[in-house]
Amino acid sequence: MQSRSYHLPSLFLAIFSGLGILFTFSGGMFMLLSGVLALGRPALFQNLAAAPDSDFLLANGLFLCAVLLTPSLYYSLRRISAKSIQPASIRPIRFWQVIVILALWVISVLLGAWPGNHLEVSWPVTPLFYLPAIALPVLTLLWIGLGGLPLGSRQRLWGTFGIGMLAGPGLAALAESVIYLSLAVLGLGLLAFHPEWMGTFTQIETQLASARDLDTILAVLAPYLMNPLVILLAVFVMAGLVPLIEELVKPIAVWLLAGRLRSPAQGFALGILSGAGFALVEGLVAASSAGEDWSVLAVARAGGSLMHILATGLMGWGIASAWQERRILRLIGSYALSVSIHGLWNGMTVMIVFGGLRAFLAGASPDVLGTSISIAGVSLLVILSAFTLITLVLLNRKLRPVTP
């Protein structure tokens, strides 16, 4: 009796997608239960913006991830069963479609911000707008970047997005945790040589234990965070090490498919898919952690999604060029460019944060330097966003196959 052979990549993708659905759905149920339990203990979360709204928002985000992993599982099972799979094709986006999606996004952000400012209990309403506020910019940028490009099969499209959505953030978090653990060990080593610092740490711990709102926490930590060494360390880690790591692991699906790609254009398209999956998960997690103020962070995350999508698309283009055309220098150059874009973005974000901390410490008296630093950071981010969007549009048009 002849044994039946399965397409191993599809089998592995089906297992990955199935486990991903189980993980995200279970995580969503856990966060939903945590939010429900928090409603019964409101005294524990008095004046804190992070609960129970954060639990409900994150639960919705995890449920969305489970839904988006379903097509990858479906098409993988079809491939294992030797059933046909249609090729994926996305038409170029039109200007009126961008305007409609942009209008829906603005409405979602505005309506999502309203309950937190006008209702005592906002958690039943905000999840309705949280998902479109985070997902619509990613969808629009994905459409702009992918329209008209060769994608391969629908299984490849959804599988690449799913891997970018789970494996990319997972590997990045694992690698970055090693950095943070190393910094913690270094801090403990310094503390061993300077035991007099223990008094300061004890004082900070005591002050944080009695803090009941975010302003109090910032008032305790801000003087230490404004130390020049802390600022330099933040820039080194966020604008240096983090981009180096993330731009390697975000296109994980493209690395796995490198030998099967047909052209650099397809590598660019699959890189965009990986970056979009990464950006979506990062945006859902970051916005949910902001509690009632998630709508403000949702606006900032739109620009972050653009940065991730273009940077990973460039990496996909470089990977495909190296494998298909033996252009190793193009891969090195695309990695350097992706890291530079990511590093500039994170560096401007650090500027905004520390400028805001200076202004916060100044209290009622105006702090010209802190305000100027924040304004400069925001202005540079806007310029970088415009450059990134224009580059995404131009690369999409350049890489589209010529129609006879």
Flag whether the pTM goes above 0.85: yes
Inter-residue contact 343 to 243 (CB < 8 Å) = yes
Which segment of 19-33, 195-209, 314-328 scores lowest on mean pLDDT?
195-209
Residue-wise DSSP of 366-378: --HHHHHHHHHHH
Which segment of 81-85, 267-271, 339-343 scores lowest on mean pLDDT?
81-85
Checking if the pLDDT of 45 tops 60, the result is no
Q: How confident is the model at residue 177 (pLDDT cuts 50, 70, 90)?
A: very high
pLDDT 10s digits, 341-378 = 999 999 999 999 888 888 877 776 777 888 888 899 99
Average pLDDT, the chain: 86
CA atoms of 267 and 255, how far apart (whole Å): 9
Inter-residue contact 160 to 91 (CB < 8 Å) = no
pLDDT of residue 381: 92
* CB environment 331-354: b (16+ within 10 A), e (fewer): beebbebbbebbbbbbbbbbbbbb
Checking if the pLDDT of 44 tops 50, the result is no
Which of residues 312 and 230 earns the better pLDDT score?
312
pLDDT of residue 46: 46
Closest CA to 72 of 165, 6, 147, 157: 157
Q: Per the structure block, which two tokens stand in for 263?
A: 């052209």
Neighbours of 276 (CB within 10 A): 27
Q: Per the structure block, which two tokens stand in for 386?
A: 């415009």
pLDDT 10s digits, 106-134 = 998 888 777 655 555 566 677 788 899 99
CA atoms of 16 and 28, how far apart (whole Å): 18
pLDDT of residue 117: 58
Checking if the pLDDT of 49 tops 90, the result is no
Ordered by start, the domain boundaries in the chain are 94-399
